[in-house]
Structure 1
């Protein structure tokens, strides 16, 4: 199955409006893409994007769609091209903005996130979940400290306090 095979909509959607059906398709794509993955604590990875969506306050359909998809390019075989084909330009631009590139410094990454309002909103929700003490508690103290510092820097650089 390709990364958009069961989740494809009209490919001419490039500038179209995202709706609730798209949010459901993004959720289904995230479920498929993250199937079998676990987080650093050994819990099902899908719990993370589920919580990120839950941290959004009165989200638009675009924000909820991007929240479901925010880690799929970094962590799965799903591509930006596939997301663009399935969900259009505004969603793929936000997913691209929130996707950390391997050769990119964190400061360059944060600067790029800030340029896309949808990505910034979703990243704020991501940073509401990532440093949650319940999520970090099972980790080794050194890793927990490293992640806490990483998330604090991200919140500072993005202006999320």
Structure 2
């Protein structure tokens, strides 16, 4: 089980000025209130609020948000009231906990696209502090990571709710990292055979894919250095749910997915983003119609990046994403990247 001190260490690094005494008090309070309860997995119940606070610590959120994460189930699952939370931990924490409790009580009854969109809007409209949604996403992420302990019908309901409601909310808030994990976890439970098929196809190509990405990464690094463009370069294989969506929508096989493999170039300025794009296009032939400029025209969730697909070494297509370090932080963390409390 995750230890409280691990969370403390993360906060000390990411937010060195924050007062940790309230977080320690919240942990002790949560452990005490939930002491008679266990998770379906058999673990002590407090393992869940600890895991939620840990996800929030990874997002580098403020201590008030982590305290609310530690306490998010006490009103719903114990006799503790919102007033008691307010007295012990202050009105901000109480408001967040109350907001998370209200969201948890929303009934998800229909997979209809319009109803899902209405529910997404309702979740976002009913909160006056976006930290309520961030705590709820962290709560859902940990529940999805431990979903295998539930009965099949409950697993399917929660996974469907995740893919219809919570992953799109994470996307709307620009939280690419959390959205991707929620989608893959839901995919695994909703379409187990398709999940295994895509996973097997990716795994069978993993060694060759990783060698190819390393070859490309070294080539790009060398070319950018020739042009004095500072950059951090990494490679990635597309997420399983995203691959499956593309296979289904375009009726293609995995070898026809142009962005199955991608490299990401992180540089220091917008000017160097465009300069790097020029270097890439001078090195490899671009795939027509695959160049997208989300720097000049950001997505509604504030995502910014240049995207292009090129035909690389050995005739293998791959995607290139180019952005600044700050744009990357926003792409991964979304609204949490801007949270300054």
Q: With structure 2 as the length reference, what TM-score do the two structures score?
A: 0.38
Deviation at 1:65, TM superposition (A): 0.5
The verdict on how the C-alpha distance between 1:62 and 1:41 changes in structure 2, with shifts beyond 3 A counting, is same
**Aligned residue for 1:58?**
60
Q: After TM superposition, which residue ranges in structure 1, 4 or more long, deviate above 6 angstroms?
A: none
The answer to whether the 8 Å contact 2:26/2:71 transfers is: yes
The verdict on how the C-alpha distance between 1:77 and 1:101 changes in structure 2, with shifts beyond 3 A counting, is farther
The answer to whether the 8 Å contact 2:137/2:170 transfers is: no
Matched, 1:91 2:104: no
**Aligned residue for 1:26?**
26
Rg: which structure is higher?
2
Structure 2 unaligned runs (5+)?
1-17, 109-118, 172-178, 180-341
**Aligned residue for 2:149?**
138
* Per-residue Cα deviation, 1:5-51 (whole angstroms, up to 9, x for no partner): xxxxxxxxxxxxx8311111111110011112122333321111111
Structure 1: distance between partners of 2:89 and 2:130? 17
The answer to whether the 8 Å contact 2:124/2:133 transfers is: no
**Whose strand fraction is larger, Structure 1's or Structure 2's?**
2
Q: With structure 1 as the length reference, what TM-score do the two structures score?
A: 0.76
The verdict on how the C-alpha distance between 1:74 and 1:112 changes in structure 2, with shifts beyond 3 A counting, is farther
Supply the RMSD in Å over aligned alpha carbons. 2.4
The answer to whether the 8 Å contact 2:103/2:123 transfers is: no
**Aligned residue for 1:14?**
none
Structure 1: distance between partners of 2:142 and 2:52? 6
Structure 2: distance between partners of 1:112 and 1:46? 30
Structure 2: distance between partners of 1:26 and 1:80? 14
**Aligned residue for 2:35?**
35
Deviation at 1:118, TM superposition (A): 1.7
The verdict on how the C-alpha distance between 1:24 and 1:110 changes in structure 2, with shifts beyond 3 A counting, is same
Structure 1: distance between partners of 2:154 and 2:105? 22
Larger RCO of the pair (alpha carbons < 8 Å, separation 6+)? 1
**Aligned residue for 1:71?**
73
**Aligned residue for 1:12?**
none
Structure 2: distance between partners of 1:155 and 1:114? 15
Q: Give the number of aligned pairs.
A: 142
Deviation at 1:139, TM superposition (A): 2.5
Structure 1: distance between partners of 2:104 and 2:169? 19
Deviation at 1:104, TM superposition (A): 5.0
